[in-house]
């Protein structure tokens, strides 16, 4: 009986030992497989993320007649049609301004003063053109009075015109106007101002070409000595 029991217990122990060895081997194989998979994944080349420059589209550059213009206000100029830079470059200055939605009040003033043909007929000019908002800053009763006074209106408008065509570099300094007084221009394409000592205006869109003039759109009306 004891021998039989010993044989059975010895057999059970052998089976248990065999199972433990087998399980240990399986565990080692699984660990090796996992490590191999992990190594394979980590060694695979990572897909390069696109750079910021590659993922974002480049801002379109101005071309044609608008290529040399400057100022944040240029964004309000139509991109096509008669009022665009390419449209204005083929027209004399008063006609070009009449097609630009930023300059509707100025065009009305030029018409009231009878200066359309005068401005269009200049062989060369530089025009500081106040926007609609610049005229709107004048009290309504005063603006109505100015528009009704042709002599006064003519003085104010010609105070904004130089008798030569100037690019952004050449225009800087003290310049005589068609009205016979002076304007002082300072700055460059990063920021330009024009003053008559009484009012200082900012150029919001500069170096706009027309057939006979260079236009600098400004944010204030300069009345000069008028």
pLDDT at 25: 42
User: Would you state the pLDDT for residue 162?
Assistant: 98
Provide block-wise average pLDDT over 10 residues at a time, the chain (226 residues): 40 39 42 45 46 40 81 94 94 96 96 97 98 96 95 97 97 97 97 96 98 98 78
176 by DSSP, 3-state: which? strand
Sheet harboring 200-209: ordered strands across?
161-162, 125-130, 213-218, 200-209, 191-195, 182-188, 173-176
Contact 80, 96 (CB under 8 A): no
How long, in residues, is the chain? 226
Q: Please name the residue ranges forming H helices in 44-139.
A: 52-55, 85-88, 93-98, 104-112, 116-121, 132-136
Q: Check: pTM over 0.75? Answer yes or no.
A: no
Query: Who's near 77: CB < 8 A, 6+ residues apart?
Result: 66, 83, 84, 85, 100, 102, 205, 208
Q: Where do the domains of the chain lie?
A: 1-35, 64-218
- Residue 222 DSSP SS3: coil
Q: Output the CATH code of domain 64-218.
A: 2.30.180.10
pLDDT value of residue 24 = 39
What is the pLDDT, as a whole number, of residue 223? 86
């Amino acid at each position: 009986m004891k021998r039989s029991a010993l044989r059975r217990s010895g057999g059970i122990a052998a089976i248990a030992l065999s199972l433990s060895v087998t399980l240990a081997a399986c565990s080692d194989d699984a660990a090796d497989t996992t490590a191999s998979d992990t190594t394979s994944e980590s060694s695979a080349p990572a897909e390069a993320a696109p750079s910021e420059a590659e993922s974002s589209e480049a801002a379109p550059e101005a071309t044609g007649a608008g290529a040399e213009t400057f100022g944040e206000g240029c964004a309000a100029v139509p991109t096509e049609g008669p009022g665009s830079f390419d449209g204005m470059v083929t027209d004399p200055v008063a006609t070009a301004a009449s097609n630009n939605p930023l300059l509707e009040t100025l065009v009305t003033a030029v018409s009231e003063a009878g200066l359309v043909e005068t401005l269009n007929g200049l062989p060369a000019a530089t025009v500081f053109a106040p926007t609609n908002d610049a005229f709107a800053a004048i009290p309504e009763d005063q603006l109505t009075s100015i528009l009704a006074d042709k002599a006064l209106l003519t003085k104010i408008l010609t105070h904004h015109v130089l008798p030569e065509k100037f690019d952004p570099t050449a225009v800087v300094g003290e310049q005589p106007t068609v009205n016979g007084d002076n304007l002082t221009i300072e700055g460059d394409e990063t920021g330009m101002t024009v003053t008559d000592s009484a009012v200082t205006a900012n150029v919001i869109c500069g170096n706009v070409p027309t057939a006979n003039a260079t236009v600098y759109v400004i944010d204030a009306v300069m009345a000069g000595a008028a």
